[in-house]
Structures are given as structure tokens and as C-alpha cells.
Amino acid sequence: MGTEGNTAGERPPDGYVQFHASGERAKGEYECAECGYGVTVVSVLPRCPMCGGEGWEQTAWSPFRRAAERALL
């Protein structure tokens, strides 16, 4: 099941979060469900290079997200 065509980061109002497995076709920004490591993919989700986890959560995309995170440090 690919995520092409889905709007990145949109979540239903009930708070449900969809997780994706390593090997799934995907495009966008994702965070490892185990350790929070972030990746940007355009083809297939990898195993997490930091912890070896196989579950991923698509993150909400924003052109200012990284700048806002840095400002909090």
C-alpha cells in the first residue's frame, strides 16, 4: 500500500495514527516509531539505520518545521 496521493501529515480528527512498515512504497517524511529518527524517502521505506526498527509514522510536513524545532533548542 503506497502513500502517493495522500496529503502528508493529515490525521483524522479521532487521533488515529497510521504506521507504515519497512519495504512499503512511500514518498515523504517519516519518523521511526521506535526511536524517532527521521528520514525523507521517495521510493521504499528502509529499516531504521539508528535502531533497526521497521515501523514508520508519516510526519506533518511544513516548510518551517525544522526552523521552529531549532528555535526551541
For residues 53-73, average pLDDT: 79
Please say if the pLDDT value at position 12 is more than 90. Answer: no
Q: Is the dihedral of CA 48, 19, 73, 68 positive or negative?
A: positive
pLDDT given at position 65: 66
Helix (H) or strand (E) holding 38: strand 38-41
pLDDT given at position 6: 45
Helix (H) or strand (E) holding 66: helix 65-72
User: Hey, where are the domains in the chain?
Assistant: 19-72
CB 59 within 8 A of CB 38: yes
pLDDT given at position 10: 53
pLDDT given at position 4: 43
Please say if the pLDDT value at position 2 is more than 90. Answer: no
CB 37 within 8 A of CB 31: yes
- CA 68 to CA 1: how far, in whole Å? 32
